[in-house]
Amino acid sequence: MPSPTDRIEKQVQLNASLDRVWNALTDSKQFGEWFRVNLEGPFVPGEFCRGQITHPGYEHVTMEVLVGEIKPQAYFSFYWRPYAIDPQVDYSAEERTLVEFTLEPKDGGVLLQVAESGFDKIPAGRRDEAYRMNSGGWAAQLNNNIKAYVEK
CATH number, domain with residue 125: 3.30.530.20
**pLDDT tens by residue, 93-120:** 999 999 999 999 999 999 999 999 999 9
Residue 1 lies in a domain: no
Query: Measured between alpha carbons, how far apart are the two ends of the chain, in Å?
Result: 42
pLDDT at site 1: 79
pLDDT at site 131: 98
Give the domain extent around 23: 7-151
Q: Which pTM was predicted?
A: 0.96
Q: pLDDT averaged over the chain?
A: 97
20: which DSSP letter? H
Number of domains within the chain: 1
Cα angle 32, 37, 41 (rounded to 5 degrees) comes to 65
**pLDDT tens by residue, 40-60:** 999 999 999 999 999 999 999
Residue 108 lies in a domain: yes
Is the pLDDT assigned to residue 92 strictly greater than 90? Answer: yes
Residue 2 lies in a domain: no
